[in-house]
Amino acid sequence: MTPPPTAPLAALPLYEQVADQLRQRILARELEPGAWVDELKLCGELGISRTPMREALKVLAAEGLVTMKLRRGAYVTEMSERDVREAYQLLSLLESDAAAEVAARATDAELAELGELHRALEAALPDRDAFFAANERFHLRVLEIDGNRWRLQIVGDLRRLMKLNRHHSLFREGRLAESLDEHRAIVKALLSRDAVACRALVTAHFCNGLSATQTAS
């Protein structure tokens, strides 16, 4: 018996579409950290009422991308030095453990895929934006292979917030090359299935990244 046709999936609610638009603008730095979110202007640009805009801002506030201030409205979140330090500490713990798990349990095909992603990272230099994108793909793929969905969600949220950091570690002169050297060592340890070395190398990678942000600031 042929099953009845399924109904098309409903489009995203308007407020979620608006949240996605604003998220893209924030991460592209069209709305800078610390900037006031002009709701009326944005409503005019997007052709919407203030209700979906306010619902969208609640979504972004829950993600940490905007900060709501009493009687002053919404502002794009600024990362303080403490915020950056604490985010790096958490990323170090979560991602070093994930790398150790991947070294111990990943299939040969999965490790080969990480090797390919690393080669894309090598090829990205000297294009900073391409390097950023390739770097994120590598790190997130390690987490996907690890398969801990809670870890992946937390790291995804933290990495999104880190894009608001005015003193990103990779902005410092010479840091791209240093980061690439660290990645080479991490990949070598992964391919050798050396979980202990992976944990130590990823921890050092984030420690060096934090030091670079402090130098850049």
Q: CA dihedral defined by 138, 132, 171, 24, rounded to 10 degrees? A: -130
pLDDT at residue 167 in the model: 63
pLDDT at residue 217 in the model: 55
State the Cα–Cα distance between residues 90 and 180, nearest whole angstrom: 21
Topology adopted by domain 81-216: Four Helix Bundle (Hemerythrin (Met), subunit A) (1.20.120)
SS (H, E, C) 133-168: HHHHHHHHHHHHHHCCHHHHHHHHHHHHHHCCCCCC
Kindly state the average pLDDT of the residues 54-58: 96
pLDDT at residue 11 in the model: 76
By CB atoms closer than 10 A (0-12, 13-18, 19+), residue 135 is buried
State the Cα–Cα distance between residues 27 and 44, nearest whole angstrom: 21
pLDDT in tens, 99-114: 999 999 999 999 999 9
Question: Band of the pLDDT at 214, cuts 50, 70, 90?
Answer: confident
Buried/exposed code over 90-124 (b: 16+ C-beta within 10 A; e: otherwise) = ebbebbbbbbbbbbeebeeebbeebeebbeebeeb
- Listed by start position, the domains of the chain span 14-76, 81-216
* Residue 3 in this model has a pLDDT that exceeds 80: no
Question: Band of the pLDDT at 12, cuts 50, 70, 90?
Answer: confident
Quickly tell me which residue has 């949220």 as its tokens: 157
Question: Band of the pLDDT at 5, cuts 50, 70, 90?
Answer: low
β-pair partners for 36: 75
Q: Which CATH entry fits the domain spanning 14-76: 3.40.190.290, 3.90.1300.10, 3.40.718.10, 1.10.10.10?
A: 1.10.10.10
Please, which residues have CB within 8 angstroms of residue 63's CB and are 6 or more apart in sequence?
A: 23, 157, 160, 161
* Residue 91 in this model has a pLDDT that exceeds 60: yes
* Residue 118 in this model has a pLDDT that exceeds 60: yes
State the Cα–Cα distance between residues 208 and 50, nearest whole angstrom: 44
